[in-house]
Each structure stands twice: as structure tokens, then as C-alpha cells.
């Protein structure tokens, strides 16, 4: 008989090996026992971004003390496509959505970029990383995106590796569509750069266009919200250069 898919899939920090218990955090223990109402011995799936995905069972030692005990590795570790998202911070709810969807879309790294028109608002990295973890658990990713510290656009560009090409979403002027720009592009290291709610300042776009590793692209005839632009650009990149051609998982628990 084919085993049923576990109801819960968790990211853990510890190394994973058969029979070696990995403790859960207090928040995770609360989630599995109080929210999901799992009991001792309940099967679940675990991953840590290094050792693939494992079937495991829950070991409950108390209200706030739980561990998972891996059994069999279900999937070997694989890397996400080599695309980064550089995005100006926007309103909290919209920025949370960007991080969630970028994680689901397989982005390897997310970095908040401070531009001239970025509304000065604190970026809560702990919150963003928690959103990325939850999204990775739900979408069956084997790794997490690297959510990095915010930095000014000029600072990021001054230390940029020119081998990683940047697509900058440009709502002004005559630029090729993203599909045209990527139509004959090679796979490799890429980044997508999106601006704040008010868009990039003209001098920022002029400076970006002068860089040999930057390609300005358009996203159609309509002006998109900042969060929509990020999600749309990542989706097109995945369709043309990413891993969307890969077959869905076929392991026995799916």
C-alpha cells in the first residue's frame, strides 16, 4: 500500500540522519502539538536545505519539548535556480507577499534594495525569513532563499559580480519585453531588480542602463504594482530559463 502523504512538513536547522533525533524549537513544538494537534509517533516530513527531505516521526516529550526522528530519505538535495531578487522595500503586507511568492517561485536569494524613492521603513528580516520558511515548507522546496540585509542600490552595484546579469524592470522609455530579452539568453547567474511604489528615479535608471551587466526590460503595456512586477518577472524567468520544465516530484509520499 502506498503510504499517505504526511500532513506536516517542517524545516529544521539540525543535520538529518536516520534515527538521529532533531529537536524542534518552542514555536515549532507549539505549532505541531497545539495548532496541528499532532501526537507522539505522528509521521511527518523534514528538510534542512542540506540533506534532502526525510520521512520522520514526531517524538513528544512535553508541552514545549518535541523532536523529529528521521527514518528514510525521500529526496536527495538539489539546488534552486541561480536567480536573485533585488527588490525595494514596499508596504509591509505587499512585501510579505513578494517574499512568500518569490520563495514559491524558487528564487535563490532575496535582498531588499534601498533606492531614492524607497519609503524609509524598517525591514524586519526575522519576519521575512520566517515567511520564507513557511512558504518553503508548503511548496515542497528543499532549500530556503537567502534573505539578506538591506543595502543601498549604489552599494550593491559597486560590489556586483558582472557575471551575474541583472534584469531591471523599467516602466519608461523603449525597452524590450522580458520575453524578448530572455528569448535567446543563456542559463547562468541572474538577478531581477524591481523598484519601490514610486518607481526608480530617472537618474537611477540612467545609471543602470550604463552598466554592461544590466538589461532594462518591460513587463507589458500596463503599469504594474511593485509586488506584481517582482512576481511577474520571476515567473517569466522561471518559464524561460529556470526549472519549470522539471517534472513534478514522484517520490512515494507525494
pLDDT in single tens digits along all 254 residues of the chain: 344 456 799 999 999 999 999 999 999 999 999 899 999 999 999 999 999 999 999 999 876 789 999 999 999 999 899 999 999 999 999 999 999 999 999 999 999 999 999 987 789 999 999 999 999 999 999 999 999 999 999 999 999 999 999 999 987 768 999 999 998 888 899 999 999 998 999 999 999 999 999 999 999 989 899 999 999 999 999 999 999 876 565 554 44
Q: What's the confidence (pLDDT) of residue 201?
A: 94
Q: Where do we find the cell 523532536?
A: 67
Q: What's the confidence (pLDDT) of residue 62?
A: 72
Q: What's the confidence (pLDDT) of residue 1?
A: 36
Beta strands in the chain (DSSP E): 9-11, 22-23, 43-47, 53-62, 65-75, 83-87, 109-114, 146-147, 151-152, 165-169, 190-194, 214-217
CA atoms within 13 A on the CB side of 168: 27
Q: What's the confidence (pLDDT) of residue 14?
A: 94
Q: Please choose, from the candidates 79, 84, 94, the residue with its C-alpha nearest in 3D space to the C-alpha of residue 151.
A: 84
Q: What's the confidence (pLDDT) of residue 184?
A: 81
Count of Cβ atoms closer than 10 Å to residue 136 Cβ: 23
Pairing of strands 109-114, 146-147: parallel
Q: What's the confidence (pLDDT) of residue 133?
A: 97
Q: What's the confidence (pLDDT) of residue 3?
A: 46
Q: What's the confidence (pLDDT) of residue 241?
A: 94
The SS3 of residue 92 is helix
For the chain, the residue count is 254
Q: Please choose, from the candidates 86, 75, 66, 25, the residue with its C-alpha nearest in 3D space to the C-alpha of residue 45.
A: 75
Residue 162 phi/psi, 5-degree rounding, is -65, -10
Cα of first residue to Cα of last residue in the chain, in angstroms, is 13
CA 49 to chain centre: 12
Count of Cβ atoms closer than 10 Å to residue 106 Cβ: 22
Q: What domains does the chain contain, in order, with CATH numbers?
A: 9-75 (2.40.240.20), 83-241 (3.40.1280.10)
Amino acid at each position: 500500500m502506498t503510504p499517505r502523504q504526511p500532513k506536516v512538513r517542517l524545516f529544521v536547522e539540525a543535520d538529518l540522519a536516520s534515527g538521529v533525533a532533531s529537536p524542534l524549537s518552542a514555536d515549532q513544538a507549539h505549532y505541531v502539538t497545539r495548532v496541528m494537534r499532532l501526537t507522539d509517533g505522528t509521521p511527518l516530513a523534514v528538510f534542512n536545505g542540506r540533506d534532502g527531505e526525510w520521512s520522520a516521526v514526531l517524538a513528544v516529550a512535553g508541552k514545549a519539548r518535541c523532536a523529529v526522528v528521521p527514518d528514510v530519505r525521500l529526496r536527495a538535495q538539489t539546488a534552486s535556480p541561480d536567480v536573485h531578487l533585488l527588490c525595494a522595500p514596499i508596504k509591509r503586507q505587499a512585501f510579505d507577499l513578494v517574499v512568500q511568492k518569490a520563495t514559491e517561485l524558487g528564487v535563490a536569494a532575496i535582498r531588499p534594495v534601498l533606492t531614492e524613492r524607497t519609503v524609509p521603513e524598517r525591514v524586519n528580516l526575522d519576519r521575512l525569513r520566517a515567511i520564507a520558511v513557511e512558504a518553503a515548507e508548503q511548496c515542497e522546496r528543499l532549500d530556503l532563499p537567502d534573505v539578506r540585509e538591506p543595502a543601498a542600490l549604489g552599494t550593491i552595484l559597486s560590489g556586483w559580480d558582472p557575471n551575474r546579469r541583472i534584469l531591471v524592470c523599467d516602466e519608461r522609455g523603449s525597452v524590450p519585453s522580458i520575453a524578448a530579452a530572455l528569448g535567446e539568453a543563456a542559463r547562468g547567474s541572474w538577478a531581477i531588480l524591481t523598484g519601490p511604489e514610486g518607481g526608480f528615479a530617472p537618474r537611477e535608471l540612467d545609471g543602470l542602463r550604463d552598466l554592461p551587466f544590466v538589461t532594462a526590460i518591460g513587463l507589458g503595456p500596463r503599469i504594474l504594482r511593485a509586488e506584481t512586477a517582482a512576481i511577474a518577472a520571476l515567473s517569466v524567468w522561471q518559464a524561460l530559463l529556470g526549472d519549470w520544465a522539471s517534472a513534478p516530484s514522484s517520490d512515494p509520499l507525494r
